[in-house]
């Protein structure tokens, strides 16, 4: 293992010094030149109501701000921040930049914000998988990948390698889920150039990828490496995940003919044993967690697996979060929701909602008359999602009342008491 493979882990102390030291320790700026066009790729995967806290979900604007300051000290002037976020009625790349507070950096430092969803894209075929990848990452002279420290229900961790999915077109992102998500992540990482990988660990998110089911922790860590795999190995260990159990990391290692077991990395700085945010990651039932937070019984949402993509996931998560907030403690009439391509209707529930085209196609024998409701769309819009959930689970009068209330209130003003315990100084919204 050469020097360029080293990982540095430092404590975040809200100054540029710790970040600068982490970058210096791993030789992160060795190749950087003043005249370079630098592209920063944060993880701002989604734009949401700011009353749904972003801790551990998206890269903090504070971390990006310190990075910009350090780059400017190096004399770099041509800096852009690029992301291709989930697109729904309420989310797009620009609302995601606002959710993370990154939009204000554009005005303050004169950096450009690039929506990678808009293209142009180049088509690249790797081992029979076709990808449309944003030209911006190839046009940049120096790419800095800034992930968040979080678990992900589909891939165990969402770190540097998964973060680069934001460089794909919307079509390619969907296809990753339809084909083989973990293999796709490994494959696009063989061609997307990255010069420096950073993990923003000011907050970690256990049971992510979103706070709806996740448990954020203040962890004050910075992980840095020129090598994306080693950076992710260190991040996994901090998250209590054995890197050898992360399929996309194993696959990438094989594709790159790297034979060492995925835990042997040279780490400078903090000792993993002392900074782990959890000893062992246990994958929880994401949706059951949301129902439990609302004290709601009589409903199940079986794990949709790796085939559900962000469009369906994004809309139904928010719709259920609002539903659970507004209907705390109720007992439902033995209902189930099926989404993605991997789940079959159980047939023993009083009511089943088949959510999205994938679930409907995968259950084409299911007949609507037998307590089965089908909501098509790829994905179904948020409004149709939310109104169908209300009409499926509540009586007509109550469903109409709640729908009217939500329309008058506007979703972005909705408040969520589930997160009231995330208070300063531990959880500081000024980091976003």
Tell me the torsion sign for CA atoms 90, 93, 99, 103: negative
Would you give the binding string for ligand SF4 spanning residues 162-201, x where CB under 6 A is met? ------------x---------------------------
From 39-47, 61-69, 186-194, 354-362, span contacting ligand SF4 (CB under 6 A): 354-362
Regarding 308 and contact with ligand SF4 (CB under 6 A), the answer is: yes
DSSP structure string for 335-355: EEEEESSS----S-SSEEEEE
Range in contact with ligand SF4 (rule: CB under 6 A) among 24-32, 51-59, 201-209, 353-361 = 353-361
400 binds ligand SF4 (CB under 6 A): no
**Please, what is the minimum distance in Å from the beta carbon of residue 381 to ligand SF4?**
11
Among 71, 133, 318, 358, binds ligand SF4 (CB under 6 A): 358
Q: What residues numbered 115-144 form the site for ligand SF4, per CB under 6 A?
A: none
Q: At what angle do helices 310-326 and 382-393 cross, to 10 degrees?
A: 50
Q: Which is nearer to ligand SF4, 70 or 354 (CB)?
A: 354
Q: Closest separation between CB of residue 311 and ligand SF4, Å?
A: 3
SS3 221: strand
Query: Among residues 338 and 358, whose Cβ is nearest to ligand SF4?
Result: 358
Shortest distance in whole angstroms from residue 177 CB to ligand SF4: 6
Residue 341: name the closest of 373, 371, 302 by CA: 302
How many helices (H) and strands (E) would you count in the chain?
A: 16, 15
Min dist. Cβ of residue 315 to ligand SF4 (A): 9
Residues 216-235 contacting ligand SF4, CB under 6 A:
none
DSSP 168: B
One of 44, 312, 354, 375 touching ligand SF4 (CB under 6 A): 312
Query: Is residue 209 a contact residue for ligand SF4 (CB under 6 A)?
Result: no
What DSSP letter does each residue of 236-288 carry, written as one string? HHHTT--GGG-HHHHHHHHHTT--S-TT---EEES-HHHH-S-SS-----HHH
Can residue 340 be called a binding residue for ligand SF4 (CB under 6 A)?
yes
Chain positions 12 to 71 lying near ligand SF4, rule: CB under 6 A, are none
* φ and ψ of 134, to 5 deg: -60, 130
Query: CA 148 to CA 203: how far, in whole Å?
Result: 8
Residue (of 187, 270, 201, 281) closest to 241 by Cα position: 281
Residue 378 touching ligand SF4 (CB under 6 A): yes
CB of 183 to ligand SF4, least distance (A): 17
Closest CA to 136 of 180, 80, 174: 80
Distance, in Å, from the CA atom of 222 to the CA atom of 84, rounded to the nearest integer, reads 24
**Count of residues of this chain found to bind ligand SF4 when the rule CB under 6 A is applied:** 11
How far apart are the C-alpha atoms of 236 and 256, rounded to whole Å?
19
What letters, b where the CB count within 10 A reaches 16 and e where it falls short, cover 60-97?
A: bbbbbbbbbebbeebebebbbbbbbbbbbebbbbebbb
Q: Closer CB to ligand SF4, residue 173 or residue 183?
A: 173
Task: Please tell me the distance from the alpha carbon of residue 397 to that of residue 395, in angstroms, as a whole number.
Answer: 6
Smallest gap from Cβ 305 to ligand SF4, in A, equals 10
CB 86 to ligand SF4: min, Å: 10
Instruction: Based on the shown chain and the rule CB under 6 A, indicate whether residue 314 belongs to the binding site for ligand SF4.
Output: no
Whether cis (ω within 30° of 0) applies to the bond prior to 379 is yes
What is the nearest approach in angstroms of ligand SF4 to the Cβ of residue 188?
A: 18
243 contributes a contact to ligand SF4 by CB under 6 A:
no
Using CB under 6 A, pick the residue from 56, 201, 371, 379 that binds ligand SF4.
379
Q: Which is nearer to ligand SF4, 226 or 306 (CB)?
A: 306
Q: Which stretch binds ligand SF4 (CB under 6 A): 274-282, 289-297, 355-363, 365-373?
A: 355-363
What percent helix, strand, coil does the chain show, rounded to 5? 40, 20, 40
Q: Which of 201, 294, 311, 371 binds ligand SF4 (CB under 6 A)?
A: 311
Handedness of CA 266, 268, 273, 276 (dihedral sign): negative
Q: Could you list the residues that contact ligand SF4 (CB under 6 A)?
A: 174, 308-309, 311-312, 340, 356-358, 378-379
């Amino acid at each position: 293992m050469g020097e360029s493979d080293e990982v540095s882990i430092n404590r975040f102390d809200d100054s540029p010094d710790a970040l600068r030291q982490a970058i210096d320790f791993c030789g992160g700026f060795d190749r950087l030149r003043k005249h370079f066009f630098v592209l920063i790729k944060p993880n701002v995967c989604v734009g949401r109501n700011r009353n749904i806290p972003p801790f551990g979900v998206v890269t903090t604007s504070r971390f990006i701000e310190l990075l910009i300051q350090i780059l400017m000290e190096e004399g770099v002037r041509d800096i852009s921040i690029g992301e291709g976020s989930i697109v729904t009625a309420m989310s797009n790349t620009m609302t995601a930049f606002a959710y993370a507070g990154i939009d204000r950096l554009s005005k303050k430092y004169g950096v450009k914000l690039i929506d990678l969803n808009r293209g142009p894209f180049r088509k690249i075929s790797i081992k029979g998988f076709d990808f449309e990848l944003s030209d911006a990452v190839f046009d940049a002279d120096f790419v800095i990948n800034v992930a968040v420290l979080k678990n992900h229900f589909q891939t165990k961790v969402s770190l540097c390698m998964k973060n680069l999915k934001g460089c794909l077109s919307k079509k390619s992102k969907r296809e990753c889920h339809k084909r083989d998500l973990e293999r796709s992540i490994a494959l696009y990482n063989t061609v997307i150039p990255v010069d420096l990988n950073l993990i923003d660990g000011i907050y970690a998110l256990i049971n992510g990828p979103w706070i709806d089911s996740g448990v954020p922790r203040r962890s004050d860590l910075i992980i840095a490496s020129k090598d994306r795999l080693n950076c992710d190995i260190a991040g996994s260990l901090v998250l209590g995940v054995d890197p050898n159990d992360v399929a996309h990391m194993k696959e990438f290692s094989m594709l790159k003919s790297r034979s060492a077991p995925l835990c042997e990395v040279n780490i400078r700085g903090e000792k993993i044993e002392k900074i782990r945010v959890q000893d062992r990651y246990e994958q929880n039932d994401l949706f059951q967690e949301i129902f439990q937070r609302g004290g709601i019984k009589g409903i199940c949402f079986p794990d949709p697996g790796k085939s559900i993509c962000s469009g369906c996931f994004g809309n139904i998560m928010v719709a259920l979060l609002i539903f659970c907030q507004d209907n705390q403690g109720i007992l439902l009439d033995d209902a189930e929701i099926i989404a993605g391509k991997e789940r079959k209707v159980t047939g023993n529930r009083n009511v089943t909602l088949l959510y999205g085209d994938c679930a409907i196609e995968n259950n084409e024998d299911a007949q609507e008359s037998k307590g089965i409701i089908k909501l098509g769309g790829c994905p179904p819009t948020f409004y149709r999602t939310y109104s169908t959930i209300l009409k499926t689970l509540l009586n007509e009068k109550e469903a109409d009342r709640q729908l009217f209330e939500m329309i008058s209130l506007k979703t972005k003003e909705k408040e969520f008491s589930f997160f009231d315990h995330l208070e300063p100084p531990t959880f500081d919204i000024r980091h976003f």
